[in-house]
Amino acid sequence: MNKAQLVEAIADKVGGRQQAAEAVDAVLDAIVRATVAGDRVSVTGFGSFEKVDRPARYARNPQTGERVRVKKTSVPRFRAGQGFKDLVSGSKKLPKNDVAVKKAPKGSLTGGASATVKKAAAKKAAPAKKASAAAKKTTARKTAVKKTTAAAKKTTAKKATAKKTSATAKTAAAKKTTAKKATAKKAPAKKATAKKAPAKKSAARTTTAKKATARKR
């Protein structure tokens, strides 16, 4: 029996083929999603579906006999319930006017498949919310770091400009000081030269006096 035949088998009981197809799809989807999420789906009288983790191991290739390493993986497992086993083995007979799977007692369907699906959805949503919150925090941190870096660059630029201005001012002041010193040193030299000039005149007078004395003799 394939899926289409299964739908046809229950179509009369659920009100039509379309309703039967939707019911089968909904049941299979709920079982698969819950099993993938790591939940155990148990149906009384029928069996249970669960996820089993297999560690890494070594196996042998059936064709060549070569030893092969098998990676760690997860597989779905179905375990038939005792009522299902009894019906298959023949220890119990199939009921003619009732369902083969044992009916659930009244009040036990409060937290059925829909609750399992909701739990699985909640588990998926929780990591997504955490990841979103972590992403927001990371973005905020990056923005803060960028702002801090920009502020540090501006401060460094201002300091560099201030240093350049200070260095320029010092250079200008040093040049002015050097010019003043050079001017101050040159001034006394001119005065000394001016003072020495009268000495030359006195020497000239002495020479003239000597010549006049010589003539008189």
Q: In the predicted model, is pLDDT for residue 36 greater than 80?
A: yes
> Quick one: what percent of the chain has pLDDT higher than 70?
48
Per-residue HEC secondary structure of 30-85 comes to HHHHHHHCCCCEEECCCEEEEEEEECCEEEECCCCCCEEEECCEEEEEEEECHHHH
Give the HSE-up count for residue 170: Cα atoms under 13 Å, Cβ half-sphere: 6
Residue 141 has what pLDDT? 72
Whether the model clears a pTM of 0.85, i.e. scores above it, the answer is no
Angle at 140 between CA 139 and CA 145, to 5 degrees: 95
- CATH number of the domain at 3-52+73-103+110-127, please? 4.10.520.10
How is residue 201 written in tokens?
């005149």
Contacts (Cβ under 8 Å, ≥6 apart) of 10: 20, 23, 24
Closest CA to 94 of 104, 103, 83, 105: 83
Residue 96 has what pLDDT? 83
d(CA 139, CA 208): 105
Express each pLDDT in 104-130 by its tens digit.
Answer: 666 665 654 445 455 555 555 555 455
Residue 151 has what pLDDT? 66
Give the total residue count for the chain. Answer: 217
Residue 216 has what pLDDT? 58
Residue 162 has what pLDDT? 60
Residue 80 has what pLDDT? 94
Residues 19-42: what's their mean pLDDT?
95
CB 51 within 8 Å of CB 31: no
Q: In the predicted model, is pLDDT for residue 74 greater than 80?
A: yes
> Quick one: what percent of the chain has pLDDT higher than 90?
37
Q: Give residue limits of the domains in the chain.
A: 3-52+73-103+110-127
